[in-house]
């Protein structure tokens, strides 16, 4: 009998079914700890940045939809910008909705290449769009000239086919750490100049600068020396582009929302289709 009693005592207990309250608590715990996309300020993996990530974090959350009446932008070609985050893009849908140009992230620093770049870049071209590539700058990792070389060698080159836009330097709030990448204002200007000079020497084109006025003011001291040569792509999620960085009296492109249809980031070209074609043709 003692053996029987000991055997019974050693039998594993069956788990009791969870009560409704306990089950609810477990689900809340799991949801709270589920993996979510990282935002600027979280610990991000290098290469995961995209155009506007810092603007969203520092200047107004996810971005507000366009509030400009449609009759106020008649004739201004609509554009989009994409990265690996969007994966396979519905280019035909965007084209049918009126999107006429697109930029795809090609590189970041000197070690990251967008695995979806070719698919996205060629897909935009296939439906009839004018397309281009952009580079996400990380001035805290390598020099400007080195990053320009990496960009040109991996998707950022320009071709005179009338359908390819000049490359873009995406220089904005650092999603990985210090807002100005640990550089002084003068050192940041030098880094940007090194990138732009090398890009032009490699392609014959002046690169477009994508930035926001607040970042440019804080991290370059509102430097005015690039406005006469490099087109400006300004980021501001509002009904107007607002005050521009020093040196530019007009913008060439404006990223006005990160919550647009089909893909979030939508942009406007400051001109007509003829002017957009001229920018591509050089």
Give tens-digit pLDDT for 2-41.
433 334 333 444 344 444 444 344 333 333 333 333 444 4
| pLDDT, tens only, 227-266 | 999 999 999 998 889 999 999 999 999 999 999 999 999 9
How far, in Å, CA of 73 to CA of 78, rounded? 10
Beta strand pairing status for 78-82 and 266-269?
Answer: antiparallel
List of residues 6+ apart from 211 with CB closer than 8 A: 170, 171, 172, 232, 233, 234, 235, 245
Set 149, 172, 206, 265: catalytic member: 172
Q: What is the pLDDT of residue 42?
A: 53
Give me the mean pLDDT over the 155-180 stretch.
97
219 pLDDT tier (thresholds 50, 70, 90): very high
Structure tokens at 120: 């996205």
Q: Helices 144-151 and 185-203: crossing angle, nearest 10°? A: 30
Smallest CA-to-CA distance from 109 within 134, 85, 132, 135 is with 135
| pLDDT, tens only, 39-53 | 444 578 999 999 999
Would residue 172 show up in a list of annotated catalytic residues for this protein?
Answer: yes
How far, in Å, CA of 105 to CA of 78, rounded? 18
The terminus-to-terminus CA distance of the chain in angstroms comes to 97
Q: In the predicted model, is pLDDT for residue 274 greater than 50?
A: yes
Three-state SS at 109: coil
| pLDDT, tens only, 102-129 | 999 999 999 999 999 999 999 999 999 9
Set 59, 66, 78, 81: catalytic member: 81
Q: What is the pLDDT of residue 14?
A: 39
| pLDDT, tens only, 125-154 | 999 999 999 999 999 999 999 999 999 999
Q: What is the pLDDT of residue 38?
A: 44
Model pTM?
A: 0.83
Set 59, 78, 170, 267: catalytic member: 170
Lowest mean pLDDT, pick from 156-165, 215-224, 235-244, 245-254: 235-244
75 pLDDT tier (thresholds 50, 70, 90): confident
Structure tokens at 12: 């594993």
**Domain coordinates of the chain in residue numbers?**
53-281
| Domain 53-281 CATH assignment equals 3.20.20.80 | yes
- The radius of gyration of the chain from alpha carbons, rounded to an integer in Å, stands at 24
Q: In the predicted model, is pLDDT for residue 65 greater than 70?
A: no
How far, in Å, CA of 195 to CA of 156, rounded? 12
Would residue 170 show up in a list of annotated catalytic residues for this protein?
Answer: yes
Q: What is the pLDDT of residue 64?
A: 52
Residue holding tokens 């521009």? 244
């Amino acid at each position: 009998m003692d053996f029987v009693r000991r055997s019974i005592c050693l039998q594993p207990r069956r788990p009791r079914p969870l009560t409704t309250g306990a089950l609810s608590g477990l689900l809340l715990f799991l949801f709270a700890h589920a993996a979510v996309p990282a935002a600027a300020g979280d610990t991000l993996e290098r290469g995961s940045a995209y155009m506007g990530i810092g603007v969203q974090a520092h200047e107004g959350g996810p971005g507000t939809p366009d509030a400009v009446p449609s009759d106020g932008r008649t004739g201004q070609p609509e554009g989009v910008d994409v990265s690996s985050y969007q994966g396979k893009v519905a280019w035909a849908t965007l084209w049918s909705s009126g999107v006429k140009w697109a930029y795809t992230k090609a590189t970041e620093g000197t070690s990251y290449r967008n695995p979806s770049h070719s698919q996205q870049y060629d897909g935009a071209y296939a439906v009839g769009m004018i397309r281009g590539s952009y580079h996400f700058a990380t001035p805290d990792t390598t020099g400007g000239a080195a990053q320009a070389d990496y960009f040109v060698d991996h998707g950022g080159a320009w071709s005179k086919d009338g359908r390819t836009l000049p490359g873009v330097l995406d220089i904005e709030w650092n999603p990985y750490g210090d807002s100005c990448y640990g550089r002084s204002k003068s050192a940041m200007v030098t880094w940007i100049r090194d990138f732009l000079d090398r890009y032009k020497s490699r392609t014959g084109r002046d690169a477009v600068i994508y930035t926001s006025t607040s970042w440019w003011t804080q991290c370059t001291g509102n430097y005015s020396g690039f406005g006469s040569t490099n087109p400006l792509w300004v980021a501001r999620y509002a009904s107007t582009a607002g005050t521009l960085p020093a040196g530019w009296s007009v913008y060439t492109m404006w990223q006005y929302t990160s919550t647009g249809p089909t893909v979030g980031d939508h942009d406007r070209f400051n001109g007509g289709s003829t002017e957009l074609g001229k920018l591509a043709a050089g």
